[in-house]
Chain A
Amino acid sequence: MAAILIVEDEIPIADLIELQIKLAGHTAEVLHRGDTVMDCVLGKRPDIILLDVMLPGRDGFSIMQDIRPLGIPVIFLTAKERLEDRVTGLKLGADDYIMKPFAAVELTARIEAVLRRCRKCAEIFQLGDIEVRQEEHIVLRGGENVELTAREFDLLRILIENKNLALTRDKLLELVWGFDYMGETRTVDVHIQRLRKKLGLEENIKTVFKYGYRLDVPR
């Protein structure tokens, strides 16, 4: 869970990103103008800033120069395909950039990656009586250790990372087993069944019809 500041002038897009971020379990603050960003950053100290480049009031690159000394990670949201803009953003000290249009899963993955890189302490995920300690590779159910295979743990980790977003079986195969795994999507179903049983998550790990699986987490 992180506090994220979204700076985007297009209201529909800003709302979309806010929704995606809330689904991922973070809190979001939205700004539509460039000139009010620094006040908000200094006042609220967000964990991550998602910053558009073309903004009314003040452009993203110039804001970046003020943010950099504060050490808050920044991901640029850019509509420009031009390489030089991306390079400029990264040179100014941005942690990543993401091009519009983007998929929800991609945005979440980038935010998680930046958070992982910048966070020192281990992330602990809790859902009901389940506690997942990612660093230590331990899953507790009601305080008792649950034995999971390495694949099962990876699958659980991916589901947690994309909580509230459905992933296709193919995507799960790719993320958990790797690109070159030649197995069938049936393997995913088997592992999901085992996870549900071992952790008692039959309700939370949802089957999305004709699509894949989703870990639902109350917000």
Chain B
Amino acid sequence: MKFWQKAFFITLILFLIAFDSLGYILLERSFSLNRENAIQAAQSEHRIIARSVYERINYSSGLYTELNADNLKGIVAPYASYYSGQGGYIALYQNGNIVFNSSAVFSPPSAQGEEARTDEVEDVLYCVIGNDLPQPLENLRLIYMKDASALRDFKSSMTHSFIVISIVISLILSITLLFLLVRLTGPFRVLNAAAVSIAQGDYGNRAPVAGGDEIGQFAHSFNVMADKVQKHVEELSNVSESKERFINNLAHETRTPITAIVGYAELLKIGNISSEEREKAINYIIGQSRRIQNMACKLNELARMSHGSIEKKTVNIGKIFSNVCATCKTQLEEKHIALSQEIGSAAIMGDAELMESLLQNLIENAVKASVDGGKIDVQVYSENNETIIAVTDCGKGMEKREISKITEPFYRADKSRSRADGGAGLGLAICARICETHNARLEIESELGTGTKIKIHFTTP
């Protein structure tokens, strides 16, 4: 059963119980008030008759010596015939014996004293009033019975109208209640629809937020939750996508050298090849093995950074730069590249080994991008509380859309070229990782044909 149905039935039942019991109490109360009024009216009529009868008897007791039944009948009969026209009936008892009765049906009196009650005789309601006459005629008891059917008719007509009113009000209430409940629970249905569509994978869906009531607040919290879920799902799928790409790339990168190594080794074993060809095959085997070895080393470096935490010390960049220059000397000389520097005595907080690796990768990349006789510029300076290392080359550069992908492992701006240069395609991926572990920001500016500038912003001094 749905919530609005539950709310509808519970409200309706409670209302009907309350309304009907109230109606019942009011009806009963008004009936008993009316009854009292009717009895009082009958009592006053009884008193008038009783006094009148008393006076007549007192008067006539002088004329008649004995008060016998016939005499008494004669006195009472005119009253009886008068009142019977108004629905009143009179009975007279003498010493407990009935002497006169104007009604065919008669409610027998109680034994003594004053009595006032209602009684039902043969389906007709009567007010029954009885009393002894005053002294010395106390042996006479006058009973007056007044038709009170109006009382009953009033009650039944009231009950009837009440039932009709109750049904009409219930109907109106039901319709209003239904309308209100459907209106009030509407936002829940909308929220539910949003939740269902999110559950089915449409993580971008949101519930419309309406008003500041509980439902509005709920919708707002729901949307906040959905935002978080969407973000996490996107992050997860990004991570798994980049992992998958990494594995595909790794497989692709290793296949070429392995194919070459296996192929040349096979030819060395079974082929009828000349000594020059033999030399070439051996050189390829060595070169391609080195390529795999180099890749393994770099991957190892990447993995090491993903796991271990680094120990930060004050590092003198000038000192590191001179180490890197010594390592890269042959590469620079081979391509006749001039390396200029503006470093001074700048220092940053970091891991010396990683800083060396960072600078070396940046310079190696710059060398690979440069043409023969090119120029590479290394600058270290402070700006806005940041220490910035900038490596600029005047090489071939790359397109804007490549910049975002360039730090991904194995991505190459120029596929054939850098592979021929012996690069593993991991240099900038490693740089990005090193920056990450140092909370530094890697910024790449590049223009196709004019060169590339890589800036690293160290936020901590």
Binding site for B on A (CB under 8 A): 9-13, 15-16, 19-20, 23, 32-33, 56, 79, 100-104, 164-167, 206, 208, 211-212, 214, 216-217
Contact = CB atoms under 8 A, between A and B. Distances in A.
Contacts of A208: 269-270
A25 to B, nearest CB: 11
Contacts of A211: 269-270
Contacts, number: 81
Contact of A13 (B256, B269, B271): B256
A100 B258 CA distance: 10
B267 interface: yes
B415 to A, nearest CB: 6
A101 B255 contact: yes
A166 B269 contact: yes
Interface stretch (B273-281, B342-350, B380-388, B452-460): B273-281
Contact of A101 (B259, B272, B287): B259
The 7 closest A-B pairs by CB, nearest first: A166-B270, A101-B259, A12-B260, A164-B272, A16-B263, A216-B272, A10-B256
A57 to B, nearest CB: 9
5 contacts: A10-B256, A23-B267, A100-B259, A101-B258, A164-B273
Interface residues of B, number: 27
A197 B141 CA distance: 167
B270 A12 contact: no
B415 A20 contact: no
B284 interface: yes
Given A103-B266, A211-B270, A9 B415 contact: yes
A15 B285 CA distance: 12
B415 A56 contact: yes
Nearest to A80: B252
Nearest to A208: B270
B284 A12 contact: yes
Interface in B190-232: none
Nearest to B291: A12
Contacts of B277: 19
Nearest to B420: A11
Contact of A16 (B255, B260, B269): B260
A162 to B, nearest CB: 9
Contact of B270 (A13, A100, A214, A217): A214
Given A9-B415, A56-B415, A16 B264 contact: yes
Nearest to B260: A12
Contacts of B255: 79, 100-101
Contacts of B256: 10, 12-13, 79, 100
Given A15-B280, A101-B258, A104-B266, A32 B416 contact: yes
Contacts of B266: 103-104
Contacts of A15: 280, 284
Nearest to A33: B416
Given A13-B263, A19-B280, A165-B270, 9 more contacts: A12-B260, A13-B256, A16-B260, A32-B416, A102-B259, A103-B266, A165-B271, A165-B272, A214-B270
Given A9-B415, A13-B259, A13-B260, A23 B272 contact: yes
B374 interface: no
Contact of A19 (B252, B262, B267): B267
A20 to B, nearest CB: 7
Given A9-B415, A12-B256, A12-B284, A19 B272 contact: no
A165 B267 CA distance: 8
B267 A12 contact: no
Interface string B245-268: 000000010011111101110110
B273 A23 contact: yes
B419 interface: yes
Contact of A20 (B257, B262, B267, B284): B267
A12 to B, nearest CB: 4
B102 interface: no
Given A79-B252, A101-B258, A101-B263, A9 B270 contact: no
Contacts of A32: 416
A214 B272 contact: yes
B46 to A, nearest CB: 114
Nearest to A79: B255
Q: For B252, B269, B271, which residue has the most chain A Cβ atoms within 10 angstroms? A: B271
Contacts of A103: 263, 266
Interface in B405-421: 415-416, 419-420
Contacts of A13: 256, 259-260, 263
Q: For A10, A164, A214, A216, which residue has the most chain B Cβ atoms within 10 angstroms? A: A10
B288 interface: yes
B272 A12 contact: no
B250 to A, nearest CB: 13
B448 to A, nearest CB: 16
Nearest to B284: A12
Nearest to B259: A101
A132 to B, nearest CB: 18
Contacts of A19: 267, 271, 273, 277, 280-281
Nearest to B248: A80
Contacts of A164: 271-273
Contact of B263 (A20, A79, A216): A20
Contacts of B281: 19
Nearest to B257: A12
A32 B252 CA distance: 18
A214 B287 CA distance: 28
A211 B271 CA distance: 12
Q: For A12, A100, A102, A206, which residue has the most chain B Cβ atoms within 10 angstroms? A: A12
A37 to B, nearest CB: 15
